[in-house]
Amino acid sequence: MTLKITEQDNGLKAELTGRLDTAASEQFARDMNPLLEQAHRNIELDLAGLEYISSSGLSLLLTLLKQANSKGGQLTLKNLNESIREVFTMTGFFRLFNIR
């Protein structure tokens, strides 16, 4: 699992690739600290390269969403593949997130 964060004019763009399973969640929790610190900005999280997400990974994305909402920022998820989209639909997360 890798997380690449870049600056954009109106916020941050982050690209998440690989498997966000329970083993990778601890690393992702550390790697997403810059996003949490900048949660008052617009954050675009590109999931095109995400192959798998566990409940631990979903929980971390929910943490990021809550932080953005509390700080007046916005989290947008984009490019969910079919299997990730299915997980979001089955868990009800599809209704919680702004997904493009």
pLDDT band (50, 70, 90) for residue 10: confident
The mean per-residue pLDDT over the stretch 41-62 comes to: 98
* Predicted structure pTM score: 0.95
**What would the CATH number be for the domain defined by 2-99?**
3.30.750.24
Could you read off the pLDDT of 21-34 as tens digits, one per residue?
999 999 999 999 99
H-run or E-run covering 54: none
Could you read off the pLDDT of 68-94 as tens digits, one per residue?
999 999 999 999 999 999 999 999 999
Per-domain residue ranges of the chain: 2-99
* 62 in Cβ contact with 29 (< 8 Å): no
What distance in Å separates the CA atoms of residue 64 and residue 87, rounded to the nearest whole number?
18
Q: Which two tokens stand for residue 21?
A: 């399973």
